[in-house]
Structure 1
Amino acid sequence: MKRIQNNVLVAIALLLGTFQVEAQEHSLTDEERQAKLDSIIAETERHFGWNDDTYSVKTAKEMWLSGDAKLLLQGGIAPLAYVGQEKFAKKYSVDYDDFGCIANCSDAQMAKYNTAIIDCLTAKFGKGWQDSIRKDVPRLDKYGVSVFNNIQYEGNGTATIVLPVIYKALGRSASDPEESGFVRDIIDCVSPTSMEFLYRGVEYYVPLSCNDGSGETPLENELIEITIRAFNPKVFRYSKNIKPYPFCVIEAINLLR
């Protein structure tokens, strides 16, 4: 098991190392950088047989709605069975899918998939599931951690974040009137409304982009995917009084239907 994991890490390190060298040789645009990263991810998936599309957030939503939801695990050569896990599955209609030694998707996709299922659990049952869930579920350790911790900003001072979230409501004021001038300086407008959503067990209010044309409104407690644009306060130099901090807007909404 360790040998396989080490080979994976070495291969990814070599690919990323090549990318870093090329990036140092000439300055990449955001588009070129993203295209190169997409290429690295695709090559890694091809080499190790990962299929992230099979474990998309849309699939997680479909499985949840059908009553066949499973949390993804990588238990090793000899998968473990935990006492009482069948009771968890029966009570919450969520079972476990243990990949064993070799995962069928990347760690990042496994984490995103599990986060979506766990937030569905929270939206329906509250947080009672935490007492009986297996503690080795990937991304469970990040539950309750703010999405705005350790954001990796691009050179232009912004970051694009795609999240699976539980929709709650629209309508809360996007910003205090006294802050409108600062917000307009950042995004050239002031959004008239914001969205309340749940992510990793934490509720947020984030303004919608003024150009948002998503049209149909999600259903309450529906699992959707949103694209957030965050602005680095060190670059845009706005006050900590602006909420949310760091300031961000929802640029796109994917209903996953």
Structure 2
Amino acid sequence: MNFKLLFCFFTASIVLQAQEKKQNDTIKIEINSNTKTIYLLGGIDSVITKEDLDFAKKYNIQFHDFGCIAPTNFEEYEVKNELVFEFLNKNYGKQWQKEIKPSVLGFEKWKKKEI
């Protein structure tokens, strides 16, 4: 019984590492692309709402919800989001800050640094 549990844990760990590497490679490509992505921490249900989709369309960005499997390197995704926040400020002024939900990964921390 313990062997099965250990095997499941080991397999899940390998799968998560592969998914994280794929996500990291994707992020590097996305930062240099025309499409900007804001990363969200979700759960079982998607946290992307109709309002978020409207925001994404208006400001030409997209959202990525990690769902149940949160990344282990939160700081890296916060930095990626900060780059998008800077892009939004540069291209749209500060109005977007009133429209984005404050629970976006790293937004409140970035906003405090900006002031």
TM-score (norm 2): 0.71
**Aligned letter for 1:92?**
Y
What's the CA shift for 1:103?
2.8
Asked if 2 retains the 8 angstrom alpha-carbon contact of 1:60 and 1:113, the reply is no
Q: Which residue of 2 aligns with 1:94?
A: 61
1:107 aligns with 2:74: yes
d(CA) in 2 for partners of 1:55, 1:139:
19
Deviation of residue 100 (structure 1)? 0.2
Q: CA deviation at 1:113?
A: 0.8
**In the alignment, what sits opposite 2:24?**
53
Name 1:6's counterpart in structure 2: none
1:127-182 Cα shifts (integer Å, max 9, x gaps): 11112112221100112333xxxxxxxxxxxxxxxxxxxxxxxxxxxxxxxxxxxx
1:170-185 paired onto structure 2 within 5 Å = none
Normalized per residue, the structure richer in helix is 2
How far is the alpha carbon of 1:101 from its aligned partner?
0.6
**1:95 offset after TM fit, Å?**
1.7
In structure 2, what is the equivalent of residue 75 of structure 1? 42
Q: Secondary structure at the match of 1:112?
A: helix
- Confirm or deny: 8 A CA contact 1:55 1:113 kept in the other structure: no
Deviation at 1:79? 1.4
User: What secondary structure sits across from 1:145 in the alignment?
Assistant: helix
Q: Percent identity?
A: 25
The runs of at least 4 aligned residues of structure 1 exceeding 6 Å deviation read none
Measured in 2, the distance between the counterparts of 1:72 and 1:139 equals 9
CA distance 1:132–1:115, shift in 2 (3 Å): same
User: What RMSD, in angstroms, separates the aligned Cα atoms of the two structures?
Assistant: 2.5
More strand by share: 1
Instruction: List gaps (5 residues or longer) in structure 2.
Output: 1-12
Q: How many residues align?
A: 100
Q: Is there any run of 5+ residues in structure 1 with no aligned partner, and where? A: 1-44, 147-200, 203-257
Secondary structure of 1:102's counterpart equals coil
Counterparts of 1:53 and 1:80, CA distance in 2: 21
- For residues 112-127 of structure 1, what are the structure 2 equivalents within 5 Å? 112-127=79-94
